[in-house]
Structure 1
Amino acid sequence: MKTKFAILILLSVIIISCKSEPYKVNSSQDSDVESISISDTLSLKLIDNKKWVANAETHEGITKMDSIISAFKTDNRSDYKTLGKNLSKQTGYIIKHCSMKGEPHDQLHVVLIPMLDEISILREEDSVEKRKLALDNLEQLISAYFKYFKV
Protein backbone atom coordinates (compact mmCIF):
# COMPACT_ATOMS: atom_id res chain seq x y z
CA MET A 1 0.00 0.00 0.00
CA LYS A 2 2.86 2.35 0.89
CA THR A 3 4.49 1.71 -2.51
CA LYS A 4 1.31 2.42 -4.46
CA PHE A 5 0.81 5.68 -2.57
CA ALA A 6 4.42 6.73 -3.25
CA ILE A 7 4.03 5.93 -6.96
CA LEU A 8 0.78 7.90 -7.11
CA ILE A 9 2.46 10.92 -5.54
CA LEU A 10 5.46 10.65 -7.90
CA LEU A 11 3.20 10.44 -10.94
CA SER A 12 1.30 13.49 -9.75
CA VAL A 13 4.55 15.41 -9.33
CA ILE A 14 5.68 14.38 -12.82
CA ILE A 15 2.46 15.50 -14.42
CA ILE A 16 2.39 18.82 -12.56
CA SER A 17 6.08 19.68 -12.89
CA CYS A 18 6.71 18.72 -16.49
CA LYS A 19 4.80 21.63 -18.00
CA SER A 20 3.24 19.38 -20.63
CA GLU A 21 1.53 20.97 -23.60
CA PRO A 22 -0.80 19.32 -26.10
CA TYR A 23 0.93 17.94 -29.16
CA LYS A 24 -0.62 18.64 -32.54
CA VAL A 25 0.03 16.28 -35.42
CA ASN A 26 0.12 17.60 -38.96
CA SER A 27 -2.31 15.29 -40.75
CA SER A 28 -0.54 15.79 -44.09
CA GLN A 29 2.71 14.49 -42.62
CA ASP A 30 3.54 10.93 -43.69
CA SER A 31 5.03 9.21 -40.63
CA ASP A 32 6.52 5.78 -40.25
CA VAL A 33 5.96 4.58 -36.73
CA GLU A 34 8.09 1.88 -35.14
CA SER A 35 6.69 0.59 -31.90
CA ILE A 36 8.17 -1.51 -29.09
CA SER A 37 6.39 -2.75 -26.02
CA ILE A 38 7.73 -1.46 -22.70
CA SER A 39 4.86 -2.79 -20.63
CA ASP A 40 1.41 -4.19 -21.17
CA THR A 41 -0.16 -0.81 -21.88
CA LEU A 42 2.61 1.50 -23.07
CA SER A 43 4.36 1.70 -26.40
CA LEU A 44 7.49 3.61 -27.37
CA LYS A 45 7.79 4.67 -30.98
CA LEU A 46 10.00 6.48 -33.45
CA ILE A 47 8.69 8.81 -36.13
CA ASP A 48 10.47 8.58 -39.49
CA ASN A 49 13.12 6.41 -37.77
CA LYS A 50 14.42 9.47 -35.90
CA LYS A 51 15.19 9.62 -32.20
CA TRP A 52 13.25 12.00 -29.97
CA VAL A 53 15.18 14.98 -28.62
CA ALA A 54 15.47 14.99 -24.83
CA ASN A 55 16.57 17.97 -22.78
CA ALA A 56 20.17 17.87 -21.52
CA GLU A 57 19.19 17.32 -17.88
CA THR A 58 17.07 14.28 -18.73
CA HIS A 59 19.90 12.78 -20.76
CA GLU A 60 22.38 13.54 -17.97
CA GLY A 61 20.13 11.92 -15.36
CA ILE A 62 19.58 8.75 -17.40
CA THR A 63 23.31 8.54 -18.18
CA LYS A 64 24.10 8.81 -14.46
CA MET A 65 21.53 6.11 -13.70
CA ASP A 66 23.25 3.85 -16.22
CA SER A 67 26.63 4.55 -14.57
CA ILE A 68 25.25 3.90 -11.08
CA ILE A 69 23.89 0.52 -12.19
CA SER A 70 27.14 -0.38 -13.97
CA ALA A 71 29.18 0.41 -10.84
CA PHE A 72 26.73 -1.57 -8.69
CA LYS A 73 27.10 -4.64 -10.92
CA THR A 74 30.86 -4.28 -11.48
CA ASP A 75 31.55 -4.04 -7.74
CA ASN A 76 29.21 -7.01 -7.15
CA ARG A 77 27.20 -5.02 -4.62
CA SER A 78 24.03 -6.30 -2.99
CA ASP A 79 22.56 -3.25 -1.21
CA TYR A 80 19.55 -2.75 -3.46
CA LYS A 81 17.91 -0.24 -1.12
CA THR A 82 20.87 2.13 -1.45
CA LEU A 83 20.91 1.53 -5.19
CA GLY A 84 17.23 2.45 -5.32
CA LYS A 85 17.82 5.62 -3.29
CA ASN A 86 20.69 6.69 -5.58
CA LEU A 87 18.57 6.06 -8.67
CA SER A 88 15.65 7.95 -7.10
CA LYS A 89 17.89 11.01 -6.74
CA GLN A 90 18.50 10.92 -10.49
CA THR A 91 14.81 10.53 -11.38
CA GLY A 92 14.06 13.41 -9.01
CA TYR A 93 16.64 15.50 -10.86
CA ILE A 94 15.08 14.57 -14.20
CA ILE A 95 11.57 15.44 -13.01
CA LYS A 96 12.65 18.72 -11.41
CA HIS A 97 14.45 19.89 -14.57
CA CYS A 98 11.90 18.67 -17.09
CA SER A 99 11.47 21.16 -19.93
CA MET A 100 10.27 18.77 -22.63
CA LYS A 101 6.91 19.32 -24.32
CA GLY A 102 4.61 17.63 -26.79
CA GLU A 103 5.16 14.15 -28.18
CA PRO A 104 8.83 13.87 -27.07
CA HIS A 105 7.66 14.57 -23.51
CA ASP A 106 4.89 11.97 -23.79
CA GLN A 107 7.32 9.41 -25.18
CA LEU A 108 9.74 10.05 -22.30
CA HIS A 109 6.97 9.15 -19.87
CA VAL A 110 6.65 5.76 -21.60
CA VAL A 111 10.08 4.84 -20.21
CA LEU A 112 10.26 7.08 -17.14
CA ILE A 113 7.09 5.91 -15.38
CA PRO A 114 8.05 2.21 -15.52
CA MET A 115 11.54 3.22 -14.29
CA LEU A 116 9.93 4.74 -11.21
CA ASP A 117 8.05 1.50 -10.58
CA GLU A 118 11.23 -0.60 -10.83
CA ILE A 119 13.16 1.78 -8.57
CA SER A 120 10.37 1.50 -5.97
CA ILE A 121 10.83 -2.26 -6.01
CA LEU A 122 14.58 -1.87 -5.47
CA ARG A 123 13.97 0.43 -2.50
CA GLU A 124 11.11 -1.40 -0.81
CA GLU A 125 11.03 -5.08 -1.77
CA ASP A 126 12.62 -7.65 0.54
CA SER A 127 12.82 -10.45 -2.02
CA VAL A 128 16.25 -10.56 -3.67
CA GLU A 129 14.75 -12.26 -6.72
CA LYS A 130 12.21 -9.47 -7.20
CA ARG A 131 14.96 -6.88 -6.80
CA LYS A 132 17.14 -8.62 -9.39
CA LEU A 133 14.22 -8.74 -11.80
CA ALA A 134 13.51 -5.04 -11.18
CA LEU A 135 17.16 -4.23 -11.89
CA ASP A 136 17.04 -6.22 -15.15
CA ASN A 137 13.84 -4.42 -16.17
CA LEU A 138 15.39 -1.07 -15.31
CA GLU A 139 18.42 -1.84 -17.47
CA GLN A 140 16.10 -2.67 -20.38
CA LEU A 141 14.24 0.61 -19.90
CA ILE A 142 17.49 2.60 -19.84
CA SER A 143 18.57 0.78 -22.99
CA ALA A 144 15.26 1.70 -24.62
CA TYR A 145 15.79 5.32 -23.62
CA PHE A 146 19.16 5.42 -25.42
CA LYS A 147 17.66 3.68 -28.45
CA TYR A 148 14.80 6.18 -28.75
CA PHE A 149 16.21 9.47 -27.41
CA LYS A 150 19.12 11.80 -28.07
CA VAL A 151 20.21 15.24 -26.85
Structure 2
Amino acid sequence: MKKILLYFTVLTLLISCKNTSEKKVETKATSTIEETVHTSENDKVELDNGNLWEANDDTTIGINKMKTRLRSFSETENTSAYLTLKEGLEADFTELFQKCTMKGEAHNQLHNYLLPMIDLFEGLESSEIATCKKNFNGLKTHLDSYSSFFK
Protein backbone atom coordinates (compact mmCIF):
# COMPACT_ATOMS: atom_id res chain seq x y z
CA MET A 1 0.00 0.00 0.00
CA LYS A 2 2.83 2.41 0.85
CA LYS A 3 4.50 1.72 -2.50
CA ILE A 4 1.26 2.52 -4.32
CA LEU A 5 0.99 5.75 -2.35
CA LEU A 6 4.60 6.65 -3.18
CA TYR A 7 4.07 5.90 -6.88
CA PHE A 8 0.84 7.92 -6.85
CA THR A 9 2.63 10.85 -5.20
CA VAL A 10 5.50 10.70 -7.68
CA LEU A 11 3.12 10.43 -10.62
CA THR A 12 1.09 13.36 -9.38
CA LEU A 13 4.22 15.43 -8.99
CA LEU A 14 5.52 14.39 -12.38
CA ILE A 15 2.22 15.31 -13.98
CA SER A 16 2.42 18.71 -12.37
CA CYS A 17 5.77 19.22 -14.09
CA LYS A 18 3.87 19.51 -17.40
CA ASN A 19 6.18 17.64 -19.74
CA THR A 20 4.96 15.82 -22.79
CA SER A 21 6.19 12.28 -23.41
CA GLU A 22 4.22 9.24 -22.28
CA LYS A 23 5.39 6.37 -20.15
CA LYS A 24 3.60 3.44 -18.53
CA VAL A 25 4.27 2.90 -14.86
CA GLU A 26 3.63 -0.46 -13.22
CA THR A 27 2.41 -0.40 -9.64
CA LYS A 28 2.73 -3.20 -7.12
CA ALA A 29 -1.01 -3.75 -7.44
CA THR A 30 -0.29 -4.87 -11.04
CA SER A 31 -2.30 -2.10 -12.59
CA THR A 32 -0.78 0.05 -15.29
CA ILE A 33 -1.22 3.77 -15.17
CA GLU A 34 -0.59 5.77 -18.31
CA GLU A 35 0.36 9.30 -17.40
CA THR A 36 2.18 12.19 -18.95
CA VAL A 37 5.74 12.20 -17.68
CA HIS A 38 9.03 13.23 -19.15
CA THR A 39 11.89 10.95 -19.98
CA SER A 40 15.07 11.16 -21.94
CA GLU A 41 15.63 8.71 -24.73
CA ASN A 42 17.14 6.09 -22.43
CA ASP A 43 16.01 7.26 -18.95
CA LYS A 44 19.66 7.57 -17.86
CA VAL A 45 21.11 10.80 -16.55
CA GLU A 46 23.18 12.54 -19.17
CA LEU A 47 25.43 15.55 -18.78
CA ASP A 48 24.76 18.87 -20.48
CA ASN A 49 27.30 18.55 -23.31
CA GLY A 50 29.88 17.38 -20.78
CA ASN A 51 28.85 19.96 -18.16
CA LEU A 52 26.93 19.56 -14.91
CA TRP A 53 23.27 20.56 -14.83
CA GLU A 54 22.24 23.52 -12.71
CA ALA A 55 20.06 22.31 -9.83
CA ASN A 56 17.98 24.58 -7.63
CA ASP A 57 18.87 24.97 -3.96
CA ASP A 58 15.84 23.00 -2.71
CA THR A 59 16.89 19.99 -4.77
CA THR A 60 20.45 20.02 -3.46
CA ILE A 61 19.19 20.51 0.10
CA GLY A 62 16.83 17.52 -0.34
CA ILE A 63 19.61 15.29 -1.66
CA ASN A 64 21.88 16.34 1.20
CA LYS A 65 19.10 15.62 3.69
CA MET A 66 18.83 12.05 2.40
CA LYS A 67 22.63 11.66 2.43
CA THR A 68 22.73 12.85 6.05
CA ARG A 69 19.95 10.42 6.97
CA LEU A 70 21.98 7.54 5.50
CA ARG A 71 25.22 8.66 7.19
CA SER A 72 23.53 8.80 10.59
CA PHE A 73 21.95 5.34 10.23
CA SER A 74 23.60 2.93 12.66
CA GLU A 75 21.24 -0.01 13.20
CA THR A 76 22.67 -2.01 10.30
CA GLU A 77 21.63 -5.43 11.68
CA ASN A 78 17.98 -4.55 12.38
CA THR A 79 15.49 -4.99 9.53
CA SER A 80 12.81 -2.93 11.25
CA ALA A 81 15.29 -0.04 11.50
CA TYR A 82 15.71 -0.19 7.72
CA LEU A 83 11.95 0.10 7.37
CA THR A 84 11.97 3.22 9.53
CA LEU A 85 14.86 4.56 7.45
CA LYS A 86 12.86 3.89 4.28
CA GLU A 87 9.90 5.85 5.60
CA GLY A 88 12.11 8.83 6.39
CA LEU A 89 13.82 8.70 3.01
CA GLU A 90 10.49 8.49 1.21
CA ALA A 91 9.27 11.56 3.10
CA ASP A 92 12.45 13.43 2.07
CA PHE A 93 12.00 12.21 -1.50
CA THR A 94 8.39 13.37 -1.66
CA GLU A 95 9.35 16.76 -0.25
CA LEU A 96 12.09 17.06 -2.86
CA PHE A 97 9.54 16.40 -5.64
CA GLN A 98 7.10 18.88 -4.14
CA LYS A 99 9.75 21.61 -4.15
CA CYS A 100 10.79 20.84 -7.71
CA THR A 101 10.96 24.14 -9.61
CA MET A 102 13.53 23.19 -12.22
CA LYS A 103 12.58 23.52 -15.87
CA GLY A 104 13.68 22.17 -19.22
CA GLU A 105 16.21 19.45 -19.82
CA ALA A 106 17.89 19.94 -16.41
CA HIS A 107 14.52 19.09 -14.87
CA ASN A 108 14.16 16.00 -17.06
CA GLN A 109 17.62 14.81 -16.12
CA LEU A 110 16.88 15.35 -12.42
CA HIS A 111 13.85 13.09 -12.67
CA ASN A 112 15.94 10.50 -14.53
CA TYR A 113 18.31 10.66 -11.58
CA LEU A 114 15.61 10.43 -8.91
CA LEU A 115 13.28 7.72 -10.22
CA PRO A 116 15.66 4.74 -9.82
CA MET A 117 15.66 5.46 -6.10
CA ILE A 118 12.10 4.15 -5.75
CA ASP A 119 13.22 0.56 -6.36
CA LEU A 120 16.12 0.99 -3.93
CA PHE A 121 13.69 2.22 -1.26
CA GLU A 122 11.64 -0.95 -1.68
CA GLY A 123 14.56 -3.20 -0.76
CA LEU A 124 14.81 -1.46 2.60
CA GLU A 125 11.57 -3.09 3.72
CA SER A 126 12.84 -6.60 3.15
CA SER A 127 12.84 -9.17 5.92
CA GLU A 128 16.28 -10.25 4.67
CA ILE A 129 19.11 -8.22 6.20
CA ALA A 130 21.32 -8.83 3.14
CA THR A 131 18.70 -7.23 0.87
CA CYS A 132 18.36 -4.26 3.22
CA LYS A 133 22.13 -3.76 3.26
CA LYS A 134 22.41 -4.11 -0.51
CA ASN A 135 19.74 -1.46 -1.13
CA PHE A 136 21.17 0.79 1.58
CA ASN A 137 24.56 0.67 -0.14
CA GLY A 138 22.90 1.20 -3.52
CA LEU A 139 21.14 4.32 -2.23
CA LYS A 140 24.33 5.64 -0.70
CA THR A 141 26.23 5.16 -3.97
CA HIS A 142 23.39 6.69 -5.98
CA LEU A 143 23.10 9.75 -3.74
CA ASP A 144 26.88 10.19 -3.74
CA SER A 145 26.75 10.36 -7.55
CA TYR A 146 24.50 13.47 -7.48
CA SER A 147 27.50 15.82 -7.75
CA SER A 148 28.62 13.96 -10.87
CA PHE A 149 25.57 15.29 -12.70
CA PHE A 150 24.34 18.42 -10.89
CA LYS A 151 25.84 21.53 -9.35
Does TM-score exceed 0.5, indicating one fold? Answer: yes
Cross-structure match for 1:149? 150
List per-residue Cα deviations over 1:81-103 (Å, max 9, x = no partner). 11111111211110111101111
Residue 20 of structure 1, CA deviation: 3.8
Report deviation, 1:145. Answer: 1.4
CA distance in 1, matches of 2:9, 2:120: 13
Measure how far apart 1:125 and its partner are: 2.0
- Paired AA for residue 92 in structure 2: Q
Higher relative contact order (CA 8 A, sep 6+): 1
Taking the TM superposition and a 5 Å limit, the aligned residue runs for 1:47-126 are 47-72=48-73, 75-77=74-76, 78=78, 79-122=81-124, 124-126=125-127
Find the aligned partners of 1:76 and 1:90 in 2 and give their Cα distance.
20
Q: Judge conservation of contact 1:55–1:100 (CA < 8 Å) in 2.
A: yes
The structure-2 alpha-carbon separation of the partners of 1:43 and 1:65, relative to structure 1 and needing over 3 Å to count, comes to: same
Specify the SS of the correspondent of 1:43: coil
Paired with 1:10 and 1:114, the residues of 2 have a C-alpha distance of 15
Structure 2, gaps ≥5 residues long: 21-41
TM-score (norm: length of structure 2): 0.74
Q: State the secondary structure of the residue aligned to 1:142.
A: helix
SS at match of 1:45: coil
> Who is 2:7 aligned against?
8
Between the two proteins, the alignment pairs up a number of residues equal to: 127
Deviation at residue 6 of structure 1 after TM alignment: 3.8
Alpha-carbon spacing, 1:76–1:3, altered in 2? closer, same or farther (3 Å): closer
> By how many angstroms is 1:49 displaced?
2.1
Q: Distance in 2 between matches of 1:86 and 1:4?
A: 14
Hey, what's the Cα distance between the residues in 2 that align with 1:5 and 1:76?
27
Give the RMSD, CA atoms, in angstroms: 2.0
SS state of the match for residue 50, structure 2?
coil
Matched to 2:55, the amino acid is A
Q: 1:126 to 1:76 in 2, by over 3 A?
A: closer
Contact 1:3 1:120 in 2 (8 A): no
Q: Percent identity?
A: 29
Matched, 1:132 2:110: no
| Cα distance per residue 1:51-83 (max 9 Å; x no partner) | 1111111110100111110111xx354310111
- Unpaired segments of 5 or more residues in structure 1? 23-40
The separation in 2 between residues aligned to 1:129 and 1:3, in whole angstroms, is 22
How far apart, CA to CA, are the structure 1 residues paired with 2:53 and 2:7?
A: 26
Give the structure with the higher percent helix: 1
